[in-house]
Amino acid sequence: MTISDILSPIHVPSVVQSFFDHDRVVNHDAHTLSLSLLSIQVTELLDGIFIGCSANHSIVDGTSFWHFLNAWSEIFNAQEKNTSISRPTILTDGCGPVVSLPFTHHDQFISRFEAPILRERIFHFSSESIAKLKAKANAECNSNKISSFQALSALVWRSITRAHCLPHEQKTICGLAVNNRTRLDPPLARELLWELNSDGREGGGSIDLEVCLTLNSMSALESNPEFMEAVSISS
């Protein structure tokens, strides 16, 4: 398998899941199966390597994970061996009290299921495309308070709801992960390695969005002209 075999297809090849050591693992498996809290798996390809990083979400959040990757990259790219990290991680001493859960077996609070066959795709939205969505949303609502994030989220969720072909009376929920660090009082530092709960390839306000849907739903989403008009074709 080559790098092109992974990057060229429109949809993410299913073999990519095997490049991550913690694929289909839940947080509590680190306790019951003695799994590592951080796993780095290097898969050798014919013309390169694929580095798959997995971290247990019970100890780190997205900010901590990206901080680790940036620090790792900084060390690798440094000219000197004994280089220091520009933003050292804050490690708190000790640990909190032991919490005893009111269950006799972990099956009482962990629910597992066989996931259906899903199709994955990375959709790229350029900064120009997002700006158009924001302007359109504010114009339609006669407002100037709708953000870029709200405009894009509304388009994505509306398009996915249509792709699912749900009955008109059925309620749906859109759940979004939020960085709570700055919302605490006092706020947590960005360098703190702790759990609380990607940039686009070109930067400057672009967004790469990974979407995982069933085969029929993905096909319907890709056939939606309103959605695909906002998607930018990567070079």
Where in the chain are the domains? 3-94
Strands 49-55 and 38-44: antiparallel
C-alpha distances in Å from residue 80, one per residue of 67, 75, 212: 21, 9, 42
What are the residues whose beta carbons fall under 8 Å from the beta carbon of 205, sequence distance 6 or more?
A: 127, 130, 131, 148
Distance linking the first and last C-alpha atoms of the chain: 22
Query: Residue 130 in contact with residue 204, Cβ under 8 Å?
Result: no
Q: Give the containing element (helix H, strand E) for 120.
A: strand 118-125
The pLDDT of residue 220 is 96
Q: So what's the pLDDT on residue 199? A: 41
The whole-angstrom separation of Cα 133 and Cα 127 is: 10
Residue 37 per-residue DSSP state: S
Say if pTM beats, i.e. exceeds, 0.75. no
pLDDT along the chain (235 residues), means of 10: 93 93 86 86 96 88 83 82 66 67 84 85 94 96 93 94 90 75 67 47 75 94 96 74
pLDDT for position 73: 86
